[in-house]
Amino acid sequence: MREQVISELERTGVPFTVNAPMHTYTTWKIGGRCDLIVFPRTIEEISAAVRILNAEAVPWMVIGKGSNMLVSDEGFRGAVLRLAGEWDTASFNEDGVLAGGGFSLITLSLQAAKHGFAGLEFAGGIPGTVGGAVCMNAGAHGSDVSQILSRAFVMDEKGDAFWLEARDLAFSYRESVLQRKPWIVLKALFSLSRGDRLTIAENTKRYKEKRMRTQPLKQPSCGSVFRNPLPLFAAEILESCGLKGYSIGGAQISGLHANFIVNTGGATADDVRALIRLAQARAKQERGVDLVTEVKFVGFSSE
């Protein structure tokens, strides 16, 4: 990492770590080292970090909890921004909640239930952060972020921040305009409805228990690997191809849910990528279906 970048970050007081192992920041527990991880806590710090990195032409990206991300075994030659401080908080009001982009989506769902708000029950088992959920329009159980988001506070690639209304984000199934722009979701305002706390808690619990029964949540994974080719389901397609439980190295298509690839211990990024490609090839060959990944590939020269 360039000395000028380190010097400027030290001057502004933004916390950072150099030569950081990415496997400790991803839910797959896979990935080589990145040159720098920055932990901006305020609007001033994140704007300063973006401007410093841009001025020195350092590639950068944002991560939340590191789900839905496969980092190369060679790591990432650049900087990673991981939201902290005020971006890892949530505040409820009479109409809903304002949550930071770095706040856990699962925690937000549980807190909404405790406050007697309906609308976030579907998110009780989705790994990742609010920012990632807005970016990919995360969803489950027939609902998704687009149905409850009012607006989002984002920062563009130049370090300028502004609000966007939900209608400006061009939401569709697991898609938003944010996936095509190097922007950062700093905060999200969700409009929620008041409901019976007991009913909301029961629904949240039921969704969580279903995930515990049907998904390998005790093993390192990224969550769902493939988007569902609606009206079909990726897991059913892969299971019909006989891939449930299939392994390459330390990576395995889960025997519990075929749309999960788990790290059984010592899996490399190349193991996972090879398993993804195999699954796509078999789905195309045997079912005529093109499976599209939800996973973001980081640090791969061929991606």
pLDDT tens for each residue of 16-75 = 999 999 999 999 999 999 999 999 999 999 999 999 999 999 999 999 888 889 999 999
pLDDT band at residue 1 using 50, 70 and 90 as cut-offs: low
Helices (H), 64-218: 105-114, 130-136, 197-214
pLDDT band at residue 128 using 50, 70 and 90 as cut-offs: confident
Confidence check: pLDDT of 127 > 90? no
230 versus 275: which is more confidently predicted?
A: 275
Q: Whole-angstrom distance between the N-terminal and C-terminal Cα of the chain?
A: 23
What number is the average pLDDT over the span 176-203? 92
Determine contact, residues 139/122, Cβ cutoff 8 Å. yes
Q: Per DSSP, which regions of the chain are E strands?
A: 16-21, 33-38, 60-63, 69-71, 76-82, 90-93, 96-100, 117-118, 139-140, 143-144, 149-155, 161-165, 184-191, 193-194, 247-248, 251-253, 261-263, 296-298
Calculate helix-pair angle for 43-55, 3-12, nearest 10 degrees: 160
Classify residue 29 by burial, with Cβ atoms within 10 Å: 0-12, 13-18, 19+. Answer: middle
Structural domains of the chain, ranges and CATH numbers in brackets: 3-82 (3.30.43.10), 88-213 (3.30.465.10), 216-298 (3.90.78.10)
pLDDT band at residue 243 using 50, 70 and 90 as cut-offs: very high
List, by residue number, the catalytic residues. 174, 224, 294
pLDDT for position 140:
84
Percent of the chain at pLDDT > 70 equals 99
Confidence check: pLDDT of 280 > 90? yes
Confidence check: pLDDT of 274 > 60? yes
Least confident of 141-145, 261-265, 291-295: 141-145
pLDDT for position 211:
84
Mean pLDDT for all residues in the chain: 93
pLDDT for position 209:
85
Which residues face 163 on adjacent strands?
153
pTM: 0.90
What number is the average pLDDT over the span 154-165? 95
Q: Kindly state the helix (H) or strand (E) to which residue 283 belongs, with its residue range.
A: helix 269-287
Confidence check: pLDDT of 303 > 80? no
**Torsion angle of the four alpha carbons 175, 23, 258, 62, in this order, in degrees rounded to the nearest 10:** 0
pLDDT band at residue 205 using 50, 70 and 90 as cut-offs: confident
pLDDT band at residue 212 using 50, 70 and 90 as cut-offs: confident
Give the strands of the sheet with 251-253, arranged side by side. Answer: 247-248, 251-253, 261-263
Confidence check: pLDDT of 95 > 60? yes
Strands 76-82 and 33-38: parallel
